[in-house]
Amino acid sequence: MVDSTPDSGFATRLKAIRERIDLAARSAGRNPVDIRLLPVTKTVESARLREAVAAGCRRLGENKVQEAARKHHELSDLDIEWAVIGHLQTNKARNVAAFATEFQALDSLRLAEALDRRLQAAGRGMVVLVQVNTSGEASKSGVAPGETLDLLRALRPFSSLRVNGLMTLAARSEDEESVRRCFRLLRELRDRGRDESLVGDGELSMGMSGDFEAAVEEGATCVRIGTALFGVRALPTK
């Protein structure tokens, strides 16, 4: 069958990335089914996302809530679950609580309170991951590693938030060892959270287009892939 869709390469790229994930998993003695691939669709227009959905992607990741909400609206005829993966200001909690299935960038108690209030009002629950600043880079958001356990403990009372693990962006570095150090730190924090039953399934969302294989080897259960699937983004985004 000849595939003449404008982005017929998408399914091919998706398959190739999935194969690389599976290979990295097996080489680390892990089961590939334990790792989910979250396509990151920021700056990608809705028309192209239809092709991603047609290729089998069901949950999509966006880092900005306004853009995610717009696409949620534009693609409301499709059965898509939205994961918001970028820093959120407290005054935008309502926007996320209205439609997101998952929020991966929880980094303060104040934001948790705002989200819980909005979710309770909407009668919804949401999966959340706590974002940790494992690299210590000032440009990155996330709770400090040393404060992660305290934040996780403080999240226990919020019944609408299903805290299910941790998320990080590794150091922006050519040096693979400093990248891996971030991944390992996240895993150690997850293990400590697990000892106190604070992290649900213990998800580790780590690894992007440039470093996902190392992340899988270090234990990632979710890799967030943008450019390797959709091509280089036209606009600079965080």
Ligand X SMILES: *Cc1c(COP(=O)(O)O)cnc(C)c1O
Residue 63 interacts with ligand X (CB under 6 A): yes or no: yes
Which neighbouring-strand residues pair with 84?
A: 62, 103
Q: Which of 36, 46, 208, 217 binds ligand X (CB under 6 A)?
A: 208
Residue 98 interacts with ligand X (CB under 6 A): yes or no: no
Based on CB atoms, which residue is closest to ligand X, 156 or 172?
172
Residue 42 interacts with ligand X (CB under 6 A): yes or no: yes
Q: What share of the chain is helix, strand, coil (3-state, %, to 5)?
A: 45, 15, 40
Q: Mask: binding to ligand X, 219-238, rule CB under 6 A, as x and -?
A: -----xxxxx----------
Give which of 19, 1, 40 is closest to 167, Cα–Cα: 40
Q: Which are the contacts of 108, defined by CB distance < 8 A and separation ≥ 6? A: 90, 143, 151
Based on CB atoms, which residue is closest to ligand X, 63 or 135?
63
Residue 133 interacts with ligand X (CB under 6 A): yes or no: no
Strand 81-84 to 203-205 pairing: unpaired
Q: Which of 14, 49, 86, 112 binds ligand X (CB under 6 A)?
A: 86
Residue 12 interacts with ligand X (CB under 6 A): yes or no: no
Based on CB atoms, which residue is closest to ligand X, 126 or 150?
126
Residue that the structure tokens 């996240």 belong to: 186
Which letter does DSSP use for residue 233 in this model?
Answer: -
Output the smallest distance, CB 196 to ligand X, in A.
26
C-alpha distances in Å from residue 42, one per residue of 90, 235, 237: 21, 10, 8
Q: Could you list the residues that contact ligand X (CB under 6 A)?
A: 40, 42, 63, 85-86, 169, 208-210, 224-228
